[in-house]
């Protein structure tokens, strides 16, 4: 049975845009619950200025509260300062974020596109020198909220720059959920042909209810690494219109029904989704949640 790696980003991308801040201790508990459900990789925090993203304050505390040998724990770093904080906290896997357009880089990290390429390259090179795993996101790869559709050739150019700088993996991110299955097939097919599918991952948002369809197109193109967020939490505070991520439970259900192995216990994952509801104070869950609850004899926190 072929394996697909799922990286759950709910403790970072999921919680960063929630109205209420979740304390570090509760975020640690969420990470551990995901690992107990069999999730092999978790993005635990963003080492960003708390002034820029207040919900990610305490990233150092989160890292200190985890057994970093327990799973593939990952951190987002916006610049060299964030990288040094993550390394000092003991993180062994970091990722930089490079937006595919000028305006999004300015809005997200207050840099031009050229400056962002340079900073990301420097962080990747330093991470590799220090022996850390290093990944790069190409954000708004399908569509930018400020500049509109992004050309596939530009995404390929930026991915090539990140690989050249030392990225082990490039994550193609549909940050505002602007993709569709036809575009997904074209873009992932092009990038897989250029770089090999095993060096790529997909990060998809469900703004237009197409994240799962786009994920399947990526699978068909050979992609075997995906970001997803338990309960479908997520959204970028700097990208207007960015809705929640592809729900981990939806993705795992799709993959398992299609004959792929993820190592994730769906029943346990549904328990994590119910736990997230207590953290954020509202119902959450992917599109398949009612069906999955019936299959596994569970119900959500609202008694539905």
- List CB contacts of 130: < 8 A, sequence separation 6 or more: 87
What phi, psi does 279 have (nearest 5°)?
A: -75, -40
Active-site residues, by number, are 236
The angle subtended at Cα 218 by Cα 213 and Cα 223, nearest 5°, is 145
Under 8 Å between Cβ of 273 and 249:
yes
Q: Which two tokens stand for residue 17?
A: 């845009």
Question: What separation in angstroms does the CA of 12 have from each of 47, 110, 151, 258, 266?
Answer: 10, 20, 28, 28, 21
Residue 212 to residue 192: CA distance in whole angstroms? 19
Using CA atoms of 67, 73, 77, 83 in order, give the dihedral in degrees to the nearest 10. Answer: 50
Q: Which two tokens stand for residue 188?
A: 């992932």
**Runs of H (alpha helix) within 65-195:** 80-88, 102-109, 113-129, 152-165, 181-195
Run of H or E including 227: strand 225-228
Beta bridge partners of 202: 172, 226
């Amino acid at each position: 049975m072929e394996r697909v790696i799922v990286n759950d980003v709910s403790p970072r991308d999921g919680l960063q845009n929630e109205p209420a801040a979740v304390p570090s201790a509760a975020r640690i508990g969420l990470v551990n619950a995901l690992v107990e459900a069999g999730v092999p990789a978790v993005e635990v925090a963003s080492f960003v200025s708390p002034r820029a993203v207040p919900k990610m304050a305490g990233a150092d505390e989160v890292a200190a509260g985890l057994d970093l040998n327990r799973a593939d724990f990952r951190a987002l770093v916006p610049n060299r300062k964030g990288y040094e904080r993550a390394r000092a906290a003991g993180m062994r896997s970091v990722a930089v974020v490079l937006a595919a357009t000028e305006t999004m880089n300015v809005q997200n990290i207050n840099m031009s596109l050229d400056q962002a390429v340079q900073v990301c390259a420097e962080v990747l090179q330093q991470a590799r020198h220090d022996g850390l795993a290093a990944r790069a996101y190409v954000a708004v790869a399908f569509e930018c909220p400020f500049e509109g559709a992004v050309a596939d050739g530009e995404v390929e150019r930026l991915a090539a720059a990140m690989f050249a700088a030392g990225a082990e993996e490039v994550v193609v991110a549909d940050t505002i959920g602007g993709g569709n299955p036809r575009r997904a097939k074209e873009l992932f097919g092009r990038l897989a042909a250029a770089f090999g599918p095993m060096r790529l991952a997909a990060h998809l948002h469900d703004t237009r209810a197409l994240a799962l369809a786009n994920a399947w197109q990526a699978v068909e193109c050979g992609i075997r690494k995906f970001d997803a967020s338990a309960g479908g939490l997520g959204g970028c505070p700097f990208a207007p219109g960015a809705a929640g991520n592809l729900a981990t439970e939806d993705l795992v259900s799709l993959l398992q029904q299609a004959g792929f192995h993820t190592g994730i216990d769906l029943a346990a994952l549904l328990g994590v989704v119910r736990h997230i509801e207590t953290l954020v104070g509202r119902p959450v869950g992917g599109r398949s949640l009612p069906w999955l609850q019936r299959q596994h004899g569970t119900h959500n926190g609202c008694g539905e």
